[in-house]
Amino acid sequence: MKYDKIISAVFIPVVLAASFVITPFAYANNSSASQNHKPTATGTTSQNFCNRFNSQSQKYKDDLSVKVVNLQNQINNEAQEIKTDRQNSDNALQQDRAKWAQNRQDIYSKLNSKATTDAQKQAVAAFQNAVEAAVTARESALDAARAAFRQGINQIIPQHQADVKQVLAIFQSSIQTAINQASSQCASGTDSATIRAALQTALQNARNTRQAGIQKIDKVGPQIQQLVQARNAAIKQAMQVYQTALQNVVSALKSAFGEGDNGNATSSQGNATSSGQGISLVILVHGGGFIGGSADGKNMQTLEQFFKGEGYTVESLSYELCPSVKWPTPVDDIAKGVNDTIAKYQNQGIKIHNITYVGFSAGSTAGALLLYSDKYPNIPDITRFIGFSGVYSPIATSHVADDSISECNINVSQDLVYSSVAKTHTKALLIEGQADAYDKYPETPQSSAEYLSGILTKDGVYNQVYWATEPNGKCGHGCAIQQVGAGDQQIIDIINNFMKM
């Protein structure tokens, strides 16, 4: 479900309503219209006023009616777009769930082919039953959260739109009444000054009533935000329950096959995405502008929990920081950490099926340079790159990064450079918030994410750009990871689909 459709359906009527400033008779608000004209008699003055008034009154009645009809059409169109988006979202989710179900069946088949003893076969059966129960519980909880959110929206938006239409109907009626009253006074020969004064008062009263009505009803933003928070909290709880259940059944399965932990490193193997003795490895690299942050920071914990819950083996790296060291030492240290991590598993005889480098902020910047720039060391065998809120462009880098640039002695025009010919063809998913303060031009072709995407596309490297959004338009640096932790289905689907590539 796209929030921009919801927000449009709520606020476009208000904006249009506020634009209905009817000034049909400029001379009704400007007494100089009669002062500059010096008639020979009072009757002539009134007649001239009424002639001008009558020549324009019907036109402005018609214009106001057209605006009201256009507003109704806009409301109807927005409602239909919301309905269509929901249907498309439901269809896509149904298709994804079918694919995920097939993936699970493939995993069960591989595990059954590996099981040689009765105990192992029983463990696989128990694993399958437990996973399917956990998936069913998760899907039911997610469906309930989505349904409650939609039900709330269904209650808020129609009532809000009805209130807007009522305000406009009253406004339209007031304007028409004022025009009719002035016409009646003209027909009866009332003095033009009296007609003008009454018309001015009636028009102003209509505008004041309209504005007061709009201010009274324009309170739906907080209501929608409460619905979003309630839905996200329910999804987060469902995901936590699911991940806990999955970790427990994975541990039981590993025990049945005689597989223990992989060592003291920050990692956890999950058979949901591995086969045989092999693993699918995710390497996390924290942010902090190369001057702060840590491997056990909140964002890294969120990503670690998510990827472990999806069954991946996870390693979270630390590296040297400025100003204790200068550029490019942090990037060099990250390269060493990645290569050492890969070597650790290889030396233990553990097959690595695929490797995903996942960075946040500075960790994303380093990953992009290591993968796509000849100026920095190699990190071979990386299958995928996921960059959250990375700073990739020397042009789009905002002043918020000034401290990092200064402390590390970074020259953005010389250090944020990429190879003219692709150094690797590692697939990339570039995720950025719609209001990331580190990017001068978010959600534009000049943005940091689109800058790197353009370079990779030119070199034939597969890549995706995903802009994380919030209804309030304030999805900033780190917002996307918060959405992952909250169980936002849209961004989770984007990541999971990319991880299958």
Is 245 domain-assigned?
Answer: no
Is 138 domain-assigned?
Answer: no
Encoding tokens for residue 390? 């990375």
Residues 194 and 277 in one domain: no
d(CA 497, CA 459): 23
DSSP state for residue 487 in the 8-state scheme? T
Q: SS3 for 19? A: coil
Residues 302 and 197 in one domain: no
Edge-to-edge order in the sheet of strand 313-317:
313-317, 279-285, 352-360, 384-388, 427-433, 463-468
Encoding tokens for residue 258? 């005689």
DSSP state for residue 27 in the 8-state scheme? G
pLDDT value of residue 11: 42
> Domain holding 463: CATH number?
3.40.50.1820
User: pLDDT tens for residues 427-486?
Assistant: 999 999 989 999 988 888 888 998 998 888 887 888 999 999 888 888 999 999 999 999
Residues 183 and 270 in one domain: no
d(CA 386, CA 439): 18
Residues 401 and 495 in one domain: yes
The number of angstroms, rounded, from the C-alpha of 183 to the middle of its chain's C-alpha atoms is 54
Pairing status of strand 352-360 against strand 279-285:
parallel
Is 241 domain-assigned?
Answer: no
> Residue holding tokens 């009296």?
194
Q: Say how many domains are in the chain.
A: 2
Whether residue 323 is preceded by a cis peptide bond, meaning omega within 30 degrees of 0, is yes
pTM of the full structure: 0.50
Is 108 domain-assigned?
Answer: yes
CB 333 within 8 A of CB 379: no
pLDDT value of residue 371: 93
pLDDT value of residue 273: 41
Is 228 domain-assigned?
Answer: no
Q: SS3 for 431? A: strand
* Final residue in a domain of this structure, among 198, 218, 238: 218
Is 230 domain-assigned?
Answer: no
d(CA 36, CA 40): 13
Helix ranges, 115-219 (H): 118-187, 192-217
Residues 6+ apart with CB under 8 A from 233: 486
Is 227 domain-assigned?
Answer: no
User: pLDDT tens for residues 50-102?
Assistant: 888 777 777 777 777 777 777 777 777 777 787 887 888 788 778 878 877 88
Nearest to 210 by CA among 75, 42, 14: 14
Residues 433 and 304 in one domain: yes
Residues 444 and 362 in one domain: yes
d(CA 141, CA 138): 5
Residues 357 and 268 in one domain: yes
What proportions of the chain, in percent to the nearest 5, are helix, strand and coil?
65, 10, 30
Alpha-carbon Rg for the chain in angstroms:
32
Residues 495 and 434 in one domain: yes
pLDDT value of residue 70: 77
> Domain residues for 446?
261-499
Residues 295 and 349 in one domain: yes
* Final residue in a domain of this structure, among 187, 218, 249: 218
Residues 303 and 207 in one domain: no
Residues 164 and 283 in one domain: no
How many Cα atoms are found within 13 Å in the side-chain-facing hemisphere of 487? Answer: 24
d(CA 27, CA 29): 5
Residues 6+ apart with CB under 8 A from 424: 371, 372, 382, 461
Residues 166 and 272 in one domain: no
CA 292-297-303 angle, to 5 degrees, is 125
d(CA 11, CA 221): 9
Q: Could you state, in chain order, the average pLDDT of each consecutive group of 10 residues for the chain (501 residues)?
A: 42 43 46 42 64 77 76 74 81 79 82 86 88 86 86 80 80 85 87 86 87 72 75 74 72 69 35 57 94 90 93 92 90 94 89 94 94 89 93 86 84 83 84 91 86 85 89 88 91 91 81
Is 59 domain-assigned?
Answer: yes
